[in-house]
Amino acid sequence: MGMNVGSSGGDDEVVSTINTTPLVDVMLVLLIIFLITVPVVTQSVGVTLPKETNVIRVTKPENIEIAVTKDGDIYWGVQLVPDTETLVTRLKKVAVLNPQPEVHIRGDEKSRYENVGKVMVACQRAGIMSIKFVTEPPARGG
């Protein structure tokens, strides 16, 4: 290992390169810290999530179509239902039928979750066993 001591001819050159060794050392230490801490942070409860299904909807005349608009209005088919109590009363009448009809809820994409939730609670209070949500099919090829 050699060392330059003193100047032999008066050539004092300025070293204009950046020493990147400390920077690389710091980055490697940070990388190791992140690799160690990330698995600790991402722990979660093990649950089996539902799989996406694309089942063709079979429209039967006995099925009940309930629509919820973006303003929160509830429609039974094409008829406006004034309030949730009226909806519960109508659902109780069809809940006793054998076989019990399915309720298909069509919620507007801009509707509040609260409004769709009210319809679900009304179905639960009436004793409806099968509630399904009608969605728009995904675009082809995407």
The answer to whether residues 90 and 81 touch, using CB atoms and an 8 Å cutoff, is yes
- What are the residues facing 131 on neighbouring strands? 103
What is the distance between the alpha carbons of residues 54 and 138, in angstroms, rounded to a whole number? 9
User: What percent of the chain has pLDDT above 90?
Assistant: 35
- Where do the domains of the chain lie, and which CATH numbers do they carry? 64-133 (3.30.420.270)
Alpha-carbon span 30 to 45, nearest angstrom: 28
pLDDT in tens, the chain (142 residues): 555 565 555 567 777 788 888 899 999 999 999 888 877 666 666 666 666 666 666 666 678 899 999 898 999 988 999 999 999 999 999 999 888 888 999 988 888 889 999 999 999 999 999 898 888 776 666 5
Total Cβ atoms within 10 A of residue 68 = 20
| C-alpha to C-alpha distance for 99 and 101, rounded to whole angstroms | 6
Q: Give the pTM.
A: 0.58
What's the pLDDT at 92? 93
For residue 78, give the H/E element and its range.
Answer: none
Residues 6+ apart with CB under 8 A from 129: 100
Q: What is the pLDDT of residue 123?
A: 93
Determine the pLDDT at residue 47.
65
Q: Report pLDDT for 43.
A: 62
Q: Max alpha carbon distance in the chain (Å)? A: 108
